[in-house]
Amino acid sequence: MLIQKSTPSTIEAARIAAAAFTKAYSEEVYEDVAQHLAEGEVYTIFDGVSLAGFAIFKMTDPETLYLAGIILRPDFQGIGVAETVIKMAQDEAGAKKFMLRTQSPRMWSVGNKLCRSWFPNPNGNLGYWDYSTPWPSGPHFVLHEDKSEILRAFYGGPLYGQKPTHRNRPLQEWWDSICDFERGDAVLCYGEF
């Protein structure tokens, strides 16, 4: 396996994205991938012969590495490739904090393995909307010790053709309690490396 900073061809990347999201290839997938590839620094993963995946990163502040997207070919999933590429980007940027947005407990788990603190988590508290704030500023979101948030209906529906689940049942149950897959919720995860 070879990981390098480079941008794959959009069509190849979109084919992998469709397979990774268990969806049919479509123009919508192509457009979405094209948009993501333009969002930040792209790392490409090769299996020696062809494209095995890619990841896009950007710094949201001088300390925080944001994973704007990561797609691994199905046969490259579940073997720790995400951790390797995120560590490369972390080293390169000198990042101390990490952030991502996802609907998948598998992705949540990657951050949980990489970070010494990772929010939200089954033992933590979520933020809340404070309705005591007077209008017109409206209710503001109050965070606890973390910057994680649940983004309700963010994707407007399931992002995946087939729901990605985690084999750890309690973890899956907790995830389902905060992230409604069918509604298209997304979870903004945040932590310190």
Ligand X SMILES: CC(C)(COP(=O)(O)OP(=O)(O)OC[C@H]1O[C@@H](n2cnc3c(N)ncnc32)[C@H](O)[C@@H]1OP(=O)(O)O)[C@@H](O)C(=O)NCCC(=O)NCCS
Binding residues for ligand X (CB under 6 A): 20-21, 70-72, 77-83, 102, 104, 106-107, 109-110, 164
Please say which residue, 28 or 134, places its beta carbon nearer to ligand X: 28
Residue 152 has which token pair? 């309700």
Q: Which is nearer to ligand X, 7 or 77 (CB)?
A: 77
Question: Minimum Å distance from CB 113 to ligand X?
Answer: 6
Complex with ligand X: residue 34 or 142, whichever CB lies closer: 34
Q: Give CA 39 to chain center in angstroms.
A: 14
Partners of residue 100 on adjacent β-strands: 67, 189
Among 109, 76, 115, 78, which residue's Cα sits nearest to residue 96? 115
For ligand X, the closer CB: 75 or 145: 75
Beta carbons of 133 and 140 less than 8 angstroms apart:
yes
78: exposed, middle or buried (C-beta count within 10 Å: 0-12, 13-18, 19+)? Answer: exposed
As given in the structure block, the two tokens for residue 169 are: 């049942």
